[in-house]
Structure 1
Amino acid sequence: MEKMSFAISLERGKHLDLQSFAGKWKGTSRVWFEPDVLADESPIEGTIESILEGRFLLHRYATQFKDREVEGVYMIGFDLQSNQFQVAWVDSFHMSTAIMFSKGNANDHDFEVLGSFSDHQQPPQYWGWRTDMHFEKEELIIVAYMISPTGQSQIATEIRYHRTT
């Protein structure tokens, strides 16, 4: 199968699909550390902008966890060679000084990527982190699930955004 060019993808492929996330957003951020126990719910504001002629999206957001200010940045792309979404994520709360890289296969429905992080123990155990982005009616919903080293999944964060522009 012939690989799609960037120009065609921007016209009718995944790069066009990514553009639908661009805009200014406000909403609610929720965090869980254990199943069914909401640790925090706070307002969130974010921007998602198309960068580098539509090749990538840059998602910047600001929220808080309890009284602590939290900032984060996602760079989101779709690699035409591997046919995968790719994300680099940093923030001032979950990631400390690390960058989490995630990737996920293209599908016709939602945007979903999977990354991992170490618990910094000796020997380290690796936890998975799955992020889903999708529209539900007029909301952009970004949900992340933490996956234990044994494969158990639980919701970790949820952002429910409404477009402001």
Structure 2
Amino acid sequence: MSKEKFELSKKEGIHKELASLAGEWKGRMFTIFEKGKIANEADVSGTMKLVLGGRFILHEYKSSFGDDPIEGIAIYGYHIDRKKFESAWIESFGMGTAIMFSQGTHSDTEISFLGHYEDPSSDSKWGWKTTIQKIDENQILIVAENFSPEGREAGGVKIIYHRI
């Protein structure tokens, strides 16, 4: 990657879009195990900040599932040479000690990442698609959808964030 491409991206491209996510956020997290059925609803707070000179956004968040606290960290970035979004995600609730790596694309209104993880009981690979939609400067919708190895939708998480 050339320094010029990155500087241009920060000024008027995708890295400028990523930078617009930076800030303090609060909202609601909905956990869904079966399509259409909310298993848990809780407050969520998060911080998104630029790191490494604006190359990446570091997203840290806290919520809960019942009495169990949830903490998560995601790094979102755009690989200029490959023209792909990339992310790495860890969380205390569903990820155990694994790191999920994902790649994705974007449109005018959203960024979308697709990653896979293994079910330790069967060694089957499940899909996890995360979409970040910027509603406006002060509201973000994050939807994470879980897909079975056969491709069936199997719940997920929805976060509605408001800038504070």
Calculate the TM-score normalised by the size of structure 2: 0.93
User: Structure 1 stretch 10-19 or stretch 136-145: which is displaced more?
Assistant: 136-145
Partner residue, 2:39: 39
Q: Which moved more, 1:152-161 or 1:126-135?
A: 152-161
Aligned to 1:16: 16
2:77, 2:87 within 8 Å by CA — same for their partners in 1?
yes
Task: Please name the residue that 1:126 is paired with.
Answer: 125
3-state SS of paired residue (1:145)? strand
Which amino acid in 1 is paired with 2:135? Answer: E
Task: Report the counterpart of residue 89 of structure 1 in structure 2.
Answer: 89
Instruction: Give the drift of 1:120.
Output: 1.1
Q: In structure 1, what residue type is equivalent to 2:141?
A: I
**How many percent of aligned residue pairs carry the same amino acid?**
37
The offset of 1:148, in angstroms, is: 1.0
SS in 1 for 2:97: coil
The residue type paired with residue 163 of structure 1 is R
Alpha-carbon distance between aligned partners in 2 of 1:106 and 1:159, rounded to the nearest angstrom: 19
Alpha-carbon separation, structure 1, partners of 2:82 and 2:106: 10
Q: Deviations over 1:76-99 (max 9, x none)?
A: 100001101101000100101000
How many residues align? The count is 162
Show the counterpart of 1:99. 99
Unaligned segments of structure 2, at least 5 residues: none
The equivalent residue for 1:156 is 156
Write out per-residue CA displacement over residues 22-70 of structure 1, whole angstroms, 9 at most, x where no aligned residue: 0000000010111122110000000000011100000000100010011
Q: Does 1:109 align with 2:109?
A: yes
Match of 1:30 in 2: 30
The verdict on how the C-alpha distance between 1:29 and 1:97 changes in structure 2, with shifts beyond 3 A counting, is same
Task: Report the 3-state secondary structure (helix = DSSP H, G, I; strand = E; otherwise coil) of the residue aligned with 1:5.
Answer: helix
Q: Distance in 1 between matches of 2:151 and 2:71?
A: 29
Conserved in 2, the CA contact under 8 Å of 1:43 and 1:63? yes
Instruction: Spell out structure 1 runs of 4+ moving beyond 4 A.
Output: none
Secondary structure of residue in 2 paired with 1:7: helix
Change (3 A) 1:134 1:106: closer
